[in-house]
Amino acid sequence: MRIVVPDVGHGNCVSIFNDEASLIVDCGAENNDKVESFFNFVELKLKNSKKRELIITHYHFDHYNLLSKLPPSYFERVYLPKLPLKERRQRQYVNFWLYLLLQGSRTIP
């Protein structure tokens, strides 16, 4: 098993993988300059995985904004946090889905 924590700035992304499967915990970067770090250290190692899964820990933009840069159906399974009960956090939830919709992302099955 290997763990990769790329320099994505203030964003968050941790990759846990072996030759058979991979798990990404959050998929975000602070800005476009940090996106390259994700693709250099994570995506290259994951493209040969037979099974890819994603966990989004919460709905802050810097935890999911790389999803739109991945090919459709990249992850076999995606785990999302439950719908937030507080109104302020509900806006983050709505923003998450709007972002994916407006980006045309089909990364989440």
Establish if 25 belongs to a structural domain. yes
pLDDT in tens, the chain (109 residues): 777 776 666 558 888 888 788 888 988 887 777 777 777 777 777 777 888 899 999 888 888 888 888 877 888 898 988 876 776 677 888 888 888 777 776 666 5
Q: What span, in angstroms and rounded, lies between the C-alpha atoms of 69 and 93?
A: 20
Establish if 108 belongs to a structural domain. no
> pTM here?
0.76
Cα 97 from chain centroid (whole Å): 13
Per-residue pLDDT at 75 = 87
Cα 23 from chain centroid (whole Å): 10
Establish if 94 belongs to a structural domain. yes
Establish if 91 belongs to a structural domain. yes
Provide the CATH number for the domain around residue 58: 3.60.15.10
Per-residue pLDDT at 55 = 92
Per-residue pLDDT at 7 = 65
Domain count, the chain: 1
Are the C-beta atoms of 49 and 22 separated by less than 8 Å?
yes
Q: 3-state class of 79 per DSSP?
A: strand
Write out the residue range of the structural domain in which residue 83 sits.
2-103
Establish if 109 belongs to a structural domain. no
Establish if 53 belongs to a structural domain. yes
